[in-house]
Chain A
Amino acid sequence: EVPLVESGGGLVKPGGSLRLSCEASEFTFSNSAMNWVRQAPGKGLEWVSYISSGSGYIHYADSLRGRFTISRDNAKKSLYLQMNNLRVEDTAVYYCARVRFYGSGSLGGMVVWGKGTTVTVSS
């Protein structure tokens, strides 16, 4: 069983919207902070957004704030990314990833990743 599975990607026209989902298994999702990270074709990794386990802390990449909204439903073990007003440059594989904490709550890396879902923005 795969611990994280993303869905909701697809082809959308510029200005359109998509809602990505990430369903968790094999770990206690409700205790886990999560990130969305994206990777444009042939490019590096770009962090998109972070949400704490109880949704009390949310952060976005500066360039995406106002267009993207992260949320979660712990009862459904699911993470979401609502993406509005999509642009061609949002074309990428979008990954959800579980955050690793260590020590006395230090923010570590991203320890569990899904396989990603592809978003293509094109007219």
Chain B
Amino acid sequence: DIHMTQSPSSLSASVGDRVTITCRASQSITNYLNWYQQKSGEAPKLLIYGAFNVESGVPTRFSGSGSGTDFTLTINSLQPEDFATYFCQQSYSFPITFGQGTRLEIK
């Protein structure tokens, strides 16, 4: 199985900040990496697919990069609604696996 490791596990930031969350795969997944945002009590929301493709309707302040084993989610100019938990997920092979999550909190 491909193990996904996110860092940091939690992060404090202020409105207007730029934040970066990283995800590392235990083996190459080329660019089969997806990012989700989950707010408390809600279902996850797909933000980025294929490492860098922004899902329709997602604000342009969200971007993804990386390939192989190392990936990054960047949020430019944090907005109040961005404080949530973020998960990466690989769709390179079954079983599909998720990172453990990064909780983004208001400083």
Interface residues of A (CB under 8 A from B): 35, 37, 44-47, 50, 59-62, 95, 97, 100, 102-103, 106-111, 113-116
Chain B residues near A50 (CB, 8 Å)?
94, 96
Cross-chain contact of A47 among B35, B46, B97 (Cβ < 8 A): B97
Interface residues of B (CB under 8 A from A): 1, 32, 34-36, 38, 42-46, 48-50, 53, 55, 87, 89, 91, 94-101
Q: A47 to B90, alpha carbons, bound, how many Å?
A: 11
Q: A60 to B34, alpha carbons, bound, how many Å?
A: 19
Q: Are A47 and B98 in contact (CB under 8 A)?
A: yes
Q: Are A44 and B32 in contact (CB under 8 A)?
A: no
Chain A residues near B50 (CB, 8 Å)?
102-103, 106, 108
Chain A residues near B91 (CB, 8 Å)?
107-109
Q: Are B32 and A106 in contact (CB under 8 A)?
A: yes
Cross-chain contact of B101 among A44, A106, A110 (Cβ < 8 A): A44
* Residue of B with least CB distance to A107: B91
Q: A95 to B94, alpha carbons, bound, how many Å?
A: 18
Q: Are B49 and A102 in contact (CB under 8 A)?
A: yes
* Residue of A with least CB distance to B43: A113
Show 6 A/B contacts (Cβ-Cβ < 8 Å), sorted by A: A44-B98, A60-B95, A100-B49, A102-B53, A110-B36, A111-B49
Q: Are A111 and B55 in contact (CB under 8 A)?
A: yes
